[in-house]
Amino acid sequence: MLFNSYEFLFVFLPVVLIAFFAVARFSQAGARVFLALASLFFYGWWDWRYVGLLLLSIIVNFALGGAISRAEGRARSRLLLAGLGFNLGLLGFFKYTNFFLGTVTEVTGHDFGMAQIVLPLGISFFSFTQIAFLIDVYRRIAVEFNLTNYVLFVTYFPHLIAGPVLHHKEMMPQFAAPEMGRARAEDFAVGTALFTIGLAKKVLIADNFALFASPLFGGAESGAEPALIAAWAGALAYTMQIYFDFSGYSDMAIGLSRMFGVRLPVNFASPYKSTSIIDFWRRWHMTLSRFLRDYLYIPLGGNKLGERRRQVNLMATMVLGGLWHGANWTFVVWGTLHGLYLTINHAWRKHRGSAPGTAASRAGSWALTFLAIVVAWVFFRAASFAGALAVLRGMAGANGVVLPEKLGHIAGGIAAHLPLRITFSSDIMFNYFSVTHGLGLGDPKRFFALLGIGAVLLAMPSSQELLARYRPVLEMREPEKRGLQLTGRAGIAAGIALALLFFACLANLNHKSEFLYFQF
């Protein structure tokens, strides 16, 4: 079930909210059981067959967690290794079997065929959540073992499919708190506001950018060579799409959870405002970065074993982080690129120090960071190296530049003397490609208008900052006196504005599309 669907918004969510608070009036434990069952129903809506797999994973991990907590000495390590092996084995089988077979086929030339395996929804997320649990038990950080709460911790529907990646220690106290199940107007108001903002990011912004990104990458995959403007339009469209899609999903997840009175960790903090790649990874998919840092980078030695070892650890973390996103070498390249960026960024910082620069240097840093991110997204989005390289060649101008026909009269003479191959046409957006493939980027005016809207939204405060006075996420310890006000007269205006935004989303829901991170 998608958050952006009529069945979720008008049936599942209201029924679960009402029933949860109704059951909680009589029994808090009963409410938690109900929420866990509702979450399993939510998961099973996609494919019931995989509910069994999810439950198996939960039971095995819970049992292993209990066993680790009771064991001493080397038995603890052996049990932890067994748990890691179980989770990584499950993930490896479902997610990487065909990747492995494909790679072996490529290398040996012998066709090993492909296995008929369907990737269970959210497996990357629930595997990582439970790996973190086992390690936390091993480190004696996770100490609470209540099966109902554990099932709810893993299956909790706001985060189950695409995160945020949760820590046992930040959720269990909330599930066990006496306020759990007590309906509060503040939770419902803040949750509604965040959910609406997230829904708008997804439905009104991300899905519209997708209309420009998909044809470009689809075309490049089919052998077309996009010219400069079309290539940049497609790459920028994807850059915007993935941010608004995933951060929109995260806002919705955080908002939904808040309606139930449970705070989730922040996942995005205006990542495209970053002025360095180090900064970017502190703002992008923060719960995954936190996981990779705590359970991979630091165990590998982090930065404690010298500069050279830090670089190796960074590269290993980012390459594996890339592979986690998808079973394709393009994701490995994406991770490797970010590993390289981070290594260079650390070296540069060491060389130059971290003194604040001038406004111009900050602007330059921002532009360079953004450019590096966009280039890396090309590999992330493309289905193959050939497709990615075709887009990058286009972005570099190697496929020429198609400028609007009107400019031909003015700049036609100059163009002939430039090193770039410049042509003038009414089709600057790759629409010619629709001739053979039924694809095209469409109206350039619409694209630039959308890009403008996207840029303005990126410059604005993040959704968490907008609602900072209500501590929408876990990390905010103290409420801040800024952003949207949901109380008093200002609350009425905010309520009307958000209702109109929500309605605009409803009216566009029929073009519903899955969230990009569902595939990871």
User: What are the residue numbers of the active site?
Assistant: 325
Segment contacting other proteins by CB under 8 A, of 224-232, 236-244, 255-263, 428-436: 428-436
Q: How far is the CB of 387 from other proteins (least distance, A)?
A: 21
Specify the residue, 127 or 192, whose C-beta has the smaller distance to other proteins. Answer: 192
Q: How many positions of this chain bind other proteins (CB under 8 A)?
A: 32
Region class of 397: left (phi > 0), else alpha (psi between -120 and 50), else beta: left
120: amino acid identity, one letter: P
Contact mark string toward other proteins, 19..38, x via CB under 8 A: --------------------
Q: How far apart are CA 343 and CA 211, in angstroms?
A: 35
518: amino acid identity, one letter: F
Segment contacting other proteins by CB under 8 A, of 56-64, 93-101, 326-334, 431-439: 431-439
Q: How far apart are CA 44 and CA 1, in angstroms?
A: 9
Structure tokens at 201: 């990011």
| By the rule CB under 8 A, 11 interacts with other proteins | no
Least Cα distance to 66 among 137, 154, 166 occurs for 137
CA distances to 65, 170, 183, 319 from 190, rounded to whole Å, are 35, 20, 13, 37
Q: How far apart are CA 290 and CA 281, in angstroms?
A: 9
Neighbouring CB atoms inside 10 A of 129's CB total 28
| By the rule CB under 8 A, 360 interacts with other proteins | no
Positive/negative CA dihedral, 120, 125, 131, 133: negative
Positive/negative CA dihedral, 88, 474, 24, 256: negative
Q: How far is the CB of 481 from other proteins (least distance, A)?
A: 13
For 306, how many CA atoms within 13 A lie in the half-sphere containing its CB? 2
Specify the residue, 46 or 432, whose C-beta has the smaller distance to other proteins. Answer: 432
453: amino acid identity, one letter: I
Specify the residue, 7 or 307, whose C-beta has the smaller distance to other proteins. Answer: 7
Helix (H) or strand (E) holding 403: strand 401-404
Specify the residue, 386 or 497, whose C-beta has the smaller distance to other proteins. Answer: 497
Specify the residue, 290 or 512, whose C-beta has the smaller distance to other proteins. Answer: 512
Maximum CA pair distance of the chain? 81
One residue of 434, 443, 451, 453 binding other proteins per CB under 8 A = 434
Residue 124 makes CB contacts below 8 A (sequence gap 6+) with: 91, 95, 324, 520
CA distances to 13, 158, 326, 437, 439 from 91, rounded to whole Å, are 30, 21, 11, 36, 35
Q: How far is the CB of 6 from other proteins (least distance, A)?
A: 6
Q: How far is the CB of 168 from other proteins (least distance, A)?
A: 31
Specify the residue, 254 or 395, whose C-beta has the smaller distance to other proteins. Answer: 254
484 to 513, contacts with other proteins by CB under 8 A? 486-489, 491-496, 498-500, 502-503, 506-508, 510
Per the document, the length of the chain is 520
Q: How far is the CB of 510 from other proteins (least distance, A)?
A: 4
Interior angle at CA 141, CA 137 and CA 147, nearest 5? 55
459 to 488, contacts with other proteins by CB under 8 A? 486-488
Q: How far apart are CA 80 and CA 14, in angstroms?
A: 40
Neighbouring CB atoms inside 10 A of 519's CB total 12
Q: How far is the CB of 46 from other proteins (least distance, A)?
A: 19
Q: How far is the CB of 496 from other proteins (least distance, A)?
A: 5
Q: How far is the CB of 519 from other proteins (least distance, A)?
A: 22
Cβ pair 16, 38 in contact under 8 A: yes
Cβ pair 266, 288 in contact under 8 A: no
Q: How far is the CB of 215 from other proteins (least distance, A)?
A: 10
One residue of 6, 93, 385, 448 binding other proteins per CB under 8 A = 6
| By the rule CB under 8 A, 432 interacts with other proteins | yes
For 72, how many CA atoms within 13 A lie in the half-sphere containing its CB? 0
173 to 192, contacts with other proteins by CB under 8 A? 185-186, 188-189, 192
Specify the residue, 450 or 486, whose C-beta has the smaller distance to other proteins. Answer: 486
Specify the residue, 192 or 345, whose C-beta has the smaller distance to other proteins. Answer: 192
Specify the residue, 189 or 288, whose C-beta has the smaller distance to other proteins. Answer: 189
One residue of 178, 351, 438, 481 binding other proteins per CB under 8 A = 438
The footprint of other proteins (CB under 8 A) covers: 6, 185-186, 188-189, 192-193, 431-432, 434-435, 438, 440, 486-489, 491-496, 498-500, 502-503, 506-508, 510
